[in-house]
Amino acid sequence: MVGVAIKMVNKFNEITSEIKGFKEDLNSHVAMIQEVRILSKDMSSLDKRFDIHAQDYVNNKDANLIAINGVTDQIKHKWERTEEELEKLEKAIDVNRESLLKLFNNLLDKNNV
């Protein structure tokens, strides 16, 4: 009978120590889960900040492209207007040259006569 009681006490002590071990394991797992949650929140925050910076980069790039294309269009427009003005000046010079040549020839003819 005493032997049975000793075996029961030993078994009870084994079960108690296993329960203590399980509690310690559970507590360490709870602590790890809390750390994982904190890291998850930090990662989420970093991910959101990265998304904001990525979108800001895209917006800035688009704005710069629009500005560059606008300047390119302005330069093209100014160059086309300059070419038109040069053509007008060339025609005016041709007309004036012809008029001056006629006047000069008339003067030469009058002087040679």
Q: pLDDT tens digits for 58-108?
A: 999 999 999 898 888 999 999 999 999 999 999 988 888 888 888 888 877
Which amino acid, residue 84? E
The model carries a pTM of 0.44
DSSP state of 55: H
The rounded percent of the chain whose pLDDT value lies above 70 is 98
Alpha helices in the chain (DSSP H): 2-112
Task: Give 111's Cβ-side CA count (13 Å radius).
Answer: 6
pLDDT reported for residue 113:
56
pLDDT digits (tens, 9 = 90+) for 10-52: 888 889 999 998 899 898 999 999 999 999 998 888 888 888 8
